[in-house]
Structure 1
C-alpha cells in the first residue's frame, strides 16, 4: 500500500504542490480570520455551573434595562490639588459624554457631579485625583466595547496643563492586555521564523533544504488558522493561547517531522540514486515514527477538549493543526523531496550519514549507560530530585503584572490603588436571591446585617448595598442612634422637672415663712376680730398634687396666679377696713398685717416665676397637673371677720405648702424614673452597637424618593434580587484577596440566619471571585485532563513499541522531568526575580508541551531502538539508535526549544515563563533523560522491554531497513 502511494505521489508531485498552494490561498480568502475571533472571545472561560458565572447571570437579570457588563474608570490627576478650572473641564467632558451617550455606546456615566454626597467616592481625600466611571452594555471582548473605549479616550484628550488622564477598569485592562499580548505574538512569529530558518541552515548547511519544512509548515499554519476559526462555529473555544501554541507547536513539531524525513531521505539517497526508492525506504522506516509522533501530540491536544475549563479547552485547536501538519508532512514534503532530490542539500554532496553522522557525544552516553546503568540512574536521580522540592505551586492571577507598567490601564489602576483602594476598580459583588421581595423593612434590615457582617472581615474596605449606598451604616436608622436621640429628649425633660422641683422647694420655703408671719398677724388682730367677721372662705386646700408623668406644672402656675389674686383681694379688704376705721392705720398690728400681705404677694409672684420652666420642661410629656381648685374666700363680713379670714389664710397657706411638698415628691419620682429609663436605654444602645443587629427602618423612610434610588440601583424591581458590592482594601488579583471569597460568603450566609432572608441564595461575582473559582477549577482540570493525556500517550506508545513496559518508564521519565523543570522555573522567577508566583496557566501548559512534545524524542529514539533490535543484542541496538538519532533529536529539540524560546521576547510574563519552562524542560529531557536515564532503564530491563510481546519477528519497516539494496548490493 505504501509502495502504491509513493508511485502515485511520484507521478503527481507537481499537482500536489499546486493543490496545497491553492488550498492555502483559498483558506485566506474564504475562511474567517482567527485573530479577529480571538479578540472577540472572552479570555477567561468559566463553566456554566461555576458559582461566579451563575452570579453574573443573576446580576444581569436584576436590571435588564441597565445591562452594564463592563466599565472604564477615567482617572484625572494633578500633582497638586485639582483646581476649579480642572473641575470645569471634567464637568464639560461628562456633559458631552451624557449628551452623546447612545452614540458612544455608553450605559451610564457616574461622577461626583451627580450627587455631592458621593464626592468622597470619586474625589481623593487630598483632592489630587478624581474618578469618572463609564459603564458599557457589552462584554470587554466585544468590538463595540473597544470602540466605545476609543471614543472615551478621544473625549478626554487635551487635558489642562499639568493634568494627567489615565484609563483603567475592566474594559481598558482587557484591551491593553490583549494589545500587549498580540504585539508579543507578532514578535514571536517573526522571531520564530528567524530562529527556525537559522537552525535549519545550521543543521542542513544548505540554503535550499530549510525551505522545504518552512513551506510545508507555513502552508499548514495558514490553513489551520482558517480551519480553527471556522470550527468555532461548532463551539470549539479559542484564546490567545490558541494562536501562541499553533505557532510554536506547528513550527516546532512540524519542523521536527520534516527534519526526520529529510535526514532519513538523505541517508537513503546515499544508498541509491533513485529518488522514489529512497523515498519508499524513508517512508517505510521513519514514516511510522512521524505518524506515531504526530499522533501523540494530536491525542494530547485533542483530549484537552474534555477539560471543563474553557481556557484549557482552547488549546484543542492545536490538534487540528497537528492533523493538517501530518497530512502536509506525508504529502507536500515528500513531493518537494522528489522534485528537488539531491539538489535540496546543495552545496553539500550526499554521502552516507552526512546529515548528522554518528554522534560522538551520544555514543559516549550510550557506552556509559550500557556499562553502569544503575550508577547512572542513581547519580541522575540524586542530582535532579532536589529540584522537585523547589516546586511549591505558587501561582499568580494578576493580569496587570503581565503587561508593561507604563501602559495606561496599569498606571490608572496604580493611581486608584494609591488614592482610593485597588478594590474600587474591581469590586466583588454578592448576589442575593430570595423567593419573596426584599423591598421591606425586614428584608432591608437583613441586608444591613449582611453588609455589616461582610464589612467586619479583615481587608474589606467597605460594603455598599441598598441599606448603605455610600458604604457606611446610615446612623439615623440604627437603634443605638435612635435610642440616643430619645435619651437626649428625656434628659432635657428631666432637667426641666428638676427646675420645677427647685421652684417648688423655693415656693414652699417662702410659704412656710409667710405662714409664720400670718400666725403673728392673727395674734395681733384678735382685738378687732369682730370687725373681720366678713372674711369667710379663706384659702381652699390645694388638691391634686402632681402625678408621675409630670402633669402639674401648668396647673400649679394657675394656682399660684389664684393665690396672688386672693392675696390681692385680702389687700383690698384691708384697705376697705382702714377706710372705715381710720384709727387702724396707725396700729402697729395693722401695719404688720399689711406688710405680711405684701410679702405674701411677692412670694407668690416668685413662685409663679419658678413654675415657668416647668411648663417648658414637660411640654413633650403633655403635662397635665390637676388644677389647684378652691381659692381664697373673700372677706365676707368686713372688719369684724378679719381675724377669721386671717386664720383661714393661715390654714390655706399650710395646705398650699403641703400641696407643693406633694408635687415636689411626685416630680422627684418622675425624674428618678426618667433617669432609670435613660440608663436602661444607654445599655440597650451600647449592646446594639456591639451586636450589630440594632437597625430600624420606618415605613416612611422606605417610601422616600432618595431611598428608592438606592433600592433601584442595588435591588431588582420585584425585590427578589439584591446585590452587595464589597470593596477590598487589597489588590483584587492577589492570593490574599482570593482567600477572602469563601470567608465573605460564609459570613454573609451566617449573618442571615434567623432573618427574613435566612433561606436566600448567596453567590459571589467579580474578577476576584472568578479567579478564586478558576484556581480550583484549573487545578482539578489539570489533574483530570493530565491523566487523560498520559493514558492516551501510553496507548499510542504501547501500539508503536509493542510493549507495555517501555511506555510506562518513558511516561514516568516525562513526569519526573516536568517536576524538575517546574522546580527550576519557580526558583528562577519567584526566588530570584521576585515574582509573586508563576502565572496560573504556566504549570498546565508546560506539562502539556513537555509531555506531548517531549514524547516525540522518546519515539524517535525508541522507534530506532526497536528497528535495530535483535534478540540478545539490547546494548548494541540502543547504541546504534543513540548514535544515529542523537543528532536528529538534538536538532529537533533545538528547533522546538527555539520556537518556544521566542516567547520569552514577547514582553508578556505568561509567555516569558512558558517559553523559559518549555525550553528548560526540553533541554533537560533531550540530554539527561534521553541520553542517560531512558537508555539506562532500557539496558537494565533487557529483554523484558518487550513484555508481554515477542520480538522474534521483525516488522515490515525493519525488514525494509535491513533489506539488501538492489543498486548497491548492501
Structure 2
C-alpha cells in the first residue's frame, strides 16, 4: 500500500478513467463550431440590429442565408445559347425549390431592374441571388447541392456567399488543426530526443500533454454545449499549441530537475519528491501567471476574444496532470526514463545568456540603448492598418472564393457583398408621405462618397423614376394649362361674337319667317303621306311581275327539255337514213329507228307546247302586274307633285334669300323626279304591250308545233305498215314536206318573239340612259336642298331656337334617306330590265338557229325523195341544227334566269322604298311639329334675349379673367418646375395601388410594410477600412436627416459584410485595449507575488511589450515579402499579444525565481548574471519547442494562424535575446551594488532546509 502511494499508482488509474470519460463524452466539435462558434457581435451594434430586422422580414425569408450562383464565360461575352442554358439551370432551381431549400430566386429575367444589377456590363457574367433556408442542412450540403444543380457545360460556375465562406474557413481551420497536431507531436518528439538523448522521455511527455489536451478539450466542449461557454474556430487550435508548447516546457523543467536529483544519488521516490517540490513551485508560479492571463479573456466582450479563455481551462488541467501523473512515471521508471543515458550530471548552462547578461551589467545604459536602437525602427514603422477581409483567410483554390473574385472582377468590388440599409418604424410605410422620406434617404445615400448605386422602393433600378417626381409631373400640368388657356381664349372670342350677333338680330322679323316655315312644313307632310301611298302600290305591282317571271322561267326550262328530245329524234332519223342508203333490206330497220325518233320528238314537242301554253295563260297576269306598276308610278308622280307644291308654298312664305334659293333648288329636283317617273310609267306601258305580243306568238308557235307532231305520227304509221313504203308511197314525201313547213313557221314565230323582246330592251336602255339620269339629277338636287335646310337649322340654332330646329333636322334626314333608297330601287329595276333584254336577245338568236335548222330539214327531205345521198346529207345537217338548238337552249335558260333575278332586284328595291316611305312621312310630320314648337318657343323667348345678351357679355369678361389667371399660374408653375424644390418624390394613388409598384414594395418592404430596405453597392472593397468608415458615417448622416420627420424615432441600421466588419473593428479595437489592460494587471499582480518586488514586474512586462511591438513590425515586413499580404489580419495582433505575453512571462518568471534563489551569493548584478547562465539553457530549449509548436500552424493555410505563429516565433526570438540584456541592465541601474544580507540569510536557510 505504501508503494501504491509512493508510486502514485492511484493517480494513474484516476487519469485513465478521466481520459476514457473525456473521450466518450466529447461532443461533435464541427457541429459546435457551426452552431456556436461563429463570431458574435453585441446585439446593440447596427449590423446585429439589421440582422434582427431581416429575421422578421417575412416574405418567406426568415432564418435564411443568401447564396449567389455565378455563371462566367471567362473574358468572352455570353452567347445566346449559353444564356438559354443559364435560364434552364435557373428554371431547374425554380422547379425544385423544396429539394434545394430555396425560398426566393432573383435572376436577370425577374425584372428590368434585376437585369441591370445581375448582368455584368461586359456581358461575360451573370449572377443569381438565392435565399436558402438554414434549416435545409449544413452549409456544406447547400453548397454541394447547388454546385451540382448549376453546373453548365462550357461555363465556369460558382456558388458563394458569406455563410458558405465562413463554413469554408471553419473547415480550413479544422484541417489546419489536424495538421498542427501531427506536426507538433513529431517536432516535440524530435526535440526531446535531442535534449534528453532518450526516446522514453519524449513519449512520456507527449502522453501527459495528450491526457491534458483530451481532458481539457472535452471539458471545454461540454461547457460550450451545455453552458454556452465561449467558443470559436480558434479555441481548439490555441489549446493545441499552448498545451503542447508550454506543457513540454514544463515537462523539460520537471524532468531536468528530476535528472539532477537522481545525479545526487537519491532513489526514485526521493528524487521525484524533490523534483516536484523544487520544479513544481516554478511550474505553479509560471502556470499561475499564465492562468491569470488567459482567464482575464473571459472578461472580454467580443466573442472571438472570449473564446481564447478556453485555454485557461487547459492550463489548469495541465498543472494538475503534470504534478500528479508525471510523478507516477518518475517514481515507477526512475533512471529508466532517460534510457539509454547513464550520465545524470546537473543541468547545463547557457553561455550566450551569461555573456549577454554580463556585458549588460557592465554597460547597462549602452545595452539598453542598443536594444532600443535595434527595436524602435520596427516599432515606429508599424501602422495598425489591419485586414478585415475574410477572403484573405482562405486558399485561392476554393471555388467559393473564386466566385467572389470573378464577381469583383466583372462587376464592382461591392457587388459581391452589398450593404443593406434598414429603416423600421412603428407604422406602415406604403404611403405617399413615408415613401417621400424613403426617397430622400435614398438620395442622401447616393450622395455619400464611395457609393456606386442605391436601390430602394422608390428607385428599384438604382436611379430615379422620372414619372414619380414633381418636376416631371409639373411638366404635364403646365402643358395642359397652356392648352386650357388657348381654349379659354377661344371661348371668350366665341362669347363676344355671339353677343355681337344677338345685338344685331331682329327677333320679331325672324319669328314671322318661322311661322311661314311651320306652315310650309305642314303642307310638305301632307304631300309625303300621298307619296307613301303611291310607293305602296308600286311595290305591290313589282311583286306580281316577279311572280309572273317565275312562271315564264318554268316554261323556258320545259322548252329546253323539249329541244333536247328533238335533238335525240333528229339523231335517230339520221341513223335511219344511213341505213336506207345501205340497201332496201335494211329499210325496215331504219323505219323502226325513225318511228322511235318521231315518238321522242312528238313527246318533246308536246311538252314544249304545254309549257308555251302555260306561259300564254300567265301572260294576262304579267299584263296585270305591269298595269299595277304603272298605277303605282302614277301615284308616285302625284305624291311628288304634292311635295313640289308644298315646297312651292314654303318658298313663297320664306322671305330670306338663302332659304328661298335652297327651296327652289329642292323644287327643281322634285320636278326632275316627276319627269323621270313619267318616263318610267310610259316604259312600263310599252313593256306590257310587248309582253302581250310575246304571248300571242308563243301560242301560234304551239299550234304549229302540234301540227308537226300529227304529221310525224302519220309517218310512223306508214312505215310500220310497209317497209317498202319509202319508194312507193308519195304520202311519205308529203308528210316530210309538212314537217319542213311547220318547222319553218315555228322558227318565224320565234323570230318575231325575239324581235319583240329586242324592242323591250330598247325601251329599257332608253330609260337607263336618259330618264334614270334625270331622276338621279333630281335626287341630287333634293339632297342639296336638304343641305340648305340644314344651314337654315344652324342659323336657327344661333338664334336660340334649338328644339324646333332639331325636329326639322330629323325630318330632313329621313327625307334624305328615303330619296337615296328610291334611287337604289330604280337602279335595281333598271338593271333587271337590262337583264331581261339580254335574255330576249339570246331567245331571238335561238329562234334564228331553230329556223335555220327547219329550213335545212325541209331541204333534206326534198333531196331524200330524189336522191338517197342528198337525203343523207340533209339528215346530217338536221342533226347539226338540232345540236345547235340544244346548245342555244341553255343560253335561253340563262337569259330567263337573269330576267327573273332582275325582277327580284326590282322587287327588293321597291320593297326598301316602301319600308322607308313611312319613315320619310314620319320625319316630315316631325318637321311640321318641330317648326310649330319652335315658333311657340321663340314667341316666349323674344323677351328674354336681352338678359341672354347681358349674360353672354358677363361670361365673356369672366372667361378673359380666368384665362389671364391661368396664364399667371402657369408661369409660376414653370418656374417651380425648373427649381430644386420640384425635385421631390410624389406618387399618385393610382400608381401606389398599381401592380407595377406593388412588385417594388414586395421587394423592398417587409410583409407588414413597417420596415424598408435599401441595397447599397460601394465602389471600393467592402472589407477595406475606407468602406467601413463610409458605412458608419452613412448611418449617422441618415439618422440625423430623419430628425423632425415622421421617421425620427425609426430604427436605422446598416447590415451586410461591410457593416459587420465595421462593428467587428469597433468592438475588437475597444475590447483589445480593455482585455489587454486586464491581462497585464493580472499578470503584474502575479509577478509581484512571485518576485516580491514592485519594479521587477514592470521590467518584465516592459520587456515583453517591447518584444511584442517589434515582432508585429517584423511580421508585417515578413508577410509582405513572403506571403503577399501587406496587412496583418484583424485578430493577429490580439492573439499574438496574449500568446507572447502569457507564454513569454514564463521565461521571465524562471529567470527571476532563479535570481531570488541566488540571494546572498553576491551583488544583484552578479546574481542576475549567474541566474541568466543557469536558466538560459532551459529558456532556450523551451523557446525552441514553443516556436516549433507554433510553426506547426503554418501548413494550415489559414492566414491568421500563420501570422499569429510568426508573431509568437519572432517575439520569442527577440525575447530570448533582449531578456538577458534588459533585465540585468535595469537591475544593475536600480538595485544597490552591495549584497542583501536578508536575502543571504533567507537563501542559506532555504538551502539548509533542502539538505
Provide the TM-score with structure 1 as the length reference: 0.78
- Aligned partners of 2:1028 and 2:1061 also within 8 Å: yes
Q: Deviations over 1:729-778 (max 9, x none)?
A: 22211111101122211232233234321332212222211211111111
Instruction: Name the counterpart of 1:27.
Output: 22
Instruction: Name the counterpart of 1:905.
Output: 1195
Q: Which residue among 124, 137, 160 is the counterpart of 1:168?
A: 160
Determine the C-alpha separation between the residues in 1 that align with 2:1120 and 2:975. Answer: 54
SS of 1:40's equivalent in the other structure is helix
- Aligned partners of 1:63 and 1:716 also within 8 Å: yes
Change (3 A) 1:75 1:323: same
The reply on whether 1:118 has 2:110 as its aligned counterpart is: no
Determine the C-alpha separation between the residues in 2 that align with 1:307 and 1:208. Answer: 42
Q: Which residue among 140, 145, 149 is the counterpart of 2:143?
A: 149
Instruction: Name the counterpart of 2:58.
Output: 63
The reply on whether 1:359 has 2:350 as its aligned counterpart is: yes
Instruction: Name the counterpart of 1:862.
Output: 1152
SS of 2:1193's equivalent in the other structure is helix
Q: Which residue among 1225, 1228, 1231 is the counterpart of 1:936?
A: 1225
Instruction: Name the counterpart of 2:401.
Output: 410
Instruction: Name the counterpart of 1:711.
Output: 1001
Q: How much has 1:951 moved relative to structure 2? A: 3.4
Q: How much has 1:241 moved relative to structure 2? A: 0.9
Instruction: Name the counterpart of 2:170.
Output: 178
Q: Which residue among 128, 131, 136 is the counterpart of 1:135?
A: 131
Q: How much has 1:288 moved relative to structure 2? A: 0.8
Instruction: Name the counterpart of 1:253.
Output: 246
SS of 1:246's equivalent in the other structure is helix
SS of 1:352's equivalent in the other structure is coil
Instruction: Name the counterpart of 1:86.
Output: 82
Q: Deviations over 1:443-474 (max 9, x none)?
A: 12111111121121122222233323333333
SS of 2:1200's equivalent in the other structure is helix
SS of 1:114's equivalent in the other structure is coil
Instruction: Name the counterpart of 1:622.
Output: none
Change (3 A) 1:287 1:675: same
Q: How many residues align?
A: 833
Determine the C-alpha separation between the residues in 1 that align with 2:153 and 2:137. Answer: 30
- Aligned partners of 1:303 and 1:788 also within 8 Å: yes
Radius of gyration: which is bigger?
2
Instruction: Name the counterpart of 1:345.
Output: 338
Determine the C-alpha separation between the residues in 2 that align with 1:754 and 1:40. Answer: 42
- Aligned partners of 1:803 and 1:946 also within 8 Å: no
SS of 2:1221's equivalent in the other structure is helix
Instruction: Name the counterpart of 2:1104.
Output: 814
Q: Which residue among 951, 974, 978 is the counterpart of 1:686?
A: 978
Q: Which residue among 311, 315, 326 is the counterpart of 2:319?
A: 326
Determine the C-alpha separation between the residues in 2 that align with 1:44 and 1:576. Answer: 103
Instruction: Name the counterpart of 1:272.
Output: 265
Determine the C-alpha separation between the residues in 2 that align with 1:137 and 1:674. Answer: 60
Determine the C-alpha separation between the residues in 1 that align with 2:271 and 2:1201. Answer: 41
Change (3 A) 1:172 1:145: closer
Determine the C-alpha separation between the residues in 2 that align with 1:104 and 1:443. Answer: 37
Instruction: Name the counterpart of 2:189.
Output: 197
Change (3 A) 1:20 1:389: same
Deviates more, 1:694-703 or 1:767-776: 694-703
Q: Which residue among 18, 27, 36 is the counterpart of 2:31?
A: 36
Change (3 A) 1:903 1:685: farther
Change (3 A) 1:150 1:40: farther
Determine the C-alpha separation between the residues in 2 that align with 1:945 and 1:168. Answer: 71
Determine the C-alpha separation between the residues in 2 that align with 1:26 and 1:751. Answer: 61
The reply on whether 1:399 has 2:399 as its aligned counterpart is: no
Instruction: Name the counterpart of 1:231.
Output: 223
Instruction: Name the counterpart of 2:1113.
Output: 823
- Aligned partners of 1:805 and 1:946 also within 8 Å: no
Q: Answer 1 or 2: which has greater helix percent.
A: 2
Change (3 A) 1:265 1:697: same
- Aligned partners of 2:7 and 2:327 also within 8 Å: no
Unaligned 5+ segments in structure 2 are: 501-507, 513-653, 665-787, 792-796, 802-951
Change (3 A) 1:100 1:146: same
Q: How much has 1:253 moved relative to structure 2? A: 0.6
SS of 2:438's equivalent in the other structure is helix
Q: Which residue among 445, 457, 472 is the counterpart of 1:466?
A: 457
Deviates more, 1:874-883 or 1:252-261: 874-883
Change (3 A) 1:663 1:27: same
Q: How much has 1:493 moved relative to structure 2? A: 5.7
Determine the C-alpha separation between the residues in 2 that align with 1:183 and 1:502. Answer: 93
Determine the C-alpha separation between the residues in 2 that align with 1:766 and 1:914. Answer: 27
Change (3 A) 1:576 1:434: closer
Provide the TM-score with structure 2 as the length reference: 0.61
Instruction: Name the counterpart of 1:484.
Output: 475
Determine the C-alpha separation between the residues in 1 that align with 2:1250 and 2:339. Answer: 28
The reply on whether 1:383 has 2:673 as its aligned counterpart is: no
Q: How much has 1:246 moved relative to structure 2? A: 0.8
Q: Which residue among 197, 201, 207 is the counterpart of 1:215?
A: 207
SS of 1:431's equivalent in the other structure is strand
Determine the C-alpha separation between the residues in 2 that align with 1:628 and 1:188. Answer: 108
SS of 2:1242's equivalent in the other structure is coil
Determine the C-alpha separation between the residues in 2 that align with 1:145 and 1:135. Answer: 13
Determine the C-alpha separation between the residues in 1 that align with 2:59 and 2:1143. Answer: 48
Change (3 A) 1:42 1:329: closer
The reply on whether 1:724 has 2:716 as its aligned counterpart is: no
Q: How much has 1:337 moved relative to structure 2? A: 2.2
Change (3 A) 1:167 1:768: same
Change (3 A) 1:310 1:461: same
Instruction: Name the counterpart of 1:558.
Output: none
Instruction: Name the counterpart of 1:926.
Output: 1216
Q: How much has 1:145 moved relative to structure 2? A: 3.5
- Aligned partners of 1:804 and 1:946 also within 8 Å: no
Change (3 A) 1:329 1:26: same
Q: How much has 1:940 moved relative to structure 2? A: 2.6
Instruction: Name the counterpart of 1:54.
Output: 49
Q: Which residue among 426, 442, 446 is the counterpart of 2:437?
A: 446
